[in-house]
Amino acid sequence: MRLKIAAGNWKMNKDYQEGLELVSEIVQKSKPATGTLVILATPYIHLKDAINIAKTTSHVKIAAQNCHQAKNGAYTGETSIGMLSSIGVEYVLIGHSERRQYFRESNELLAEKVKAALSENITPIFCCGESLEIRNEGWHVRYVKNQLKKSLFDLSEEDFKKIIIAYEPIWAIGTGVTASAQQAQEIHKEIREAIAEKYGNIIAENTTVLYGGSVKPANAEELFSQKDVDGGLVGGASLKAETFLPIIEALPTTHS
């Protein structure tokens, strides 16, 4: 059975006290079903204390929003996977569309980051997705599959089984526009088929694939009810408990 996840990506939001208060509220009030998990991707300033708060429960985990691919060195302003591991980080976002767009992160660079994370037993949440222009031109499926191929498909079966994938249509991030449930299911199915072609049906069926693109309480249940959608990577709606908790509650407990 695939793990179902509600992941909140805070991006560059929340000061220190605000962030810890939100983590505490999510820990105290969220009651996800068996087989589901809540992951909060906080800014670096919250990570260590957020991890300590989350330790009081088993269903909330903390993720970093990025990492550097090198173990150490003269990389001012960067944070290595080893540093994250040393404070107990268990998950890391890799390849978010904003990192690709604003910081020019390539598929090849992201492959290095994925391997760095795995080397420290930190689970990568690998983000992929297309722009509106690419979707309108009709080659979005090929584009997303190429992202997977370039960044993930040289991993061994054992390493790939540790990956979580988050599909995020760039045209639906922060725009208020959401892919329809049918559009989400279509691309998630294509992603799972690409995994099956590379690694086999068993690994494909056990890979968690999240949808990320303007997930809100109003659409979460319909999105998460799709056969190949295993939860969401949530942006703005994860910044308040009153909007994130209903998304957590919308997580399905099983997919056939």
Question: Do the Cβ atoms of 234 and 215 come closer than 8 Å?
Answer: yes
Q: CB of 9 within 8 A of CB of 233?
A: yes
168 has catalytic annotation: yes
Helix 16-29 vs helix 47-54: crossing angle, to nearest 10: 20
Q: Which of 98, 105, 130, 168 is catalytic?
A: 168
Q: In residues, how long is the chain? A: 256
Q: Are 126 and 115 in contact (CB under 8 A)?
A: no
Q: Using an 8 Å Cβ cutoff, are 187 and 140 in contact?
A: yes
Q: Which of 228, 241, 220 is nearest to 194 (CA)?
A: 228
Give start and end residues of each alpha helix (H) in the chain. 16-29, 47-54, 81-86, 97-102, 107-119, 132-137, 140-151, 157-160, 181-199, 201-205, 217-224, 241-249
Q: Which of 46, 96, 140, 188 is catalytic?
A: 96
Copy the structure tokens of residue 204: 């494909």
- The string over 88-126, giving b where at least 16 C-beta atoms fall within 10 Å of a residue's C-beta and e elsewhere, is ebbbbbbbbbbbbeeeebebebbbebbbbbbebebbbbb
- Name the residues annotated as catalytic: 96, 168
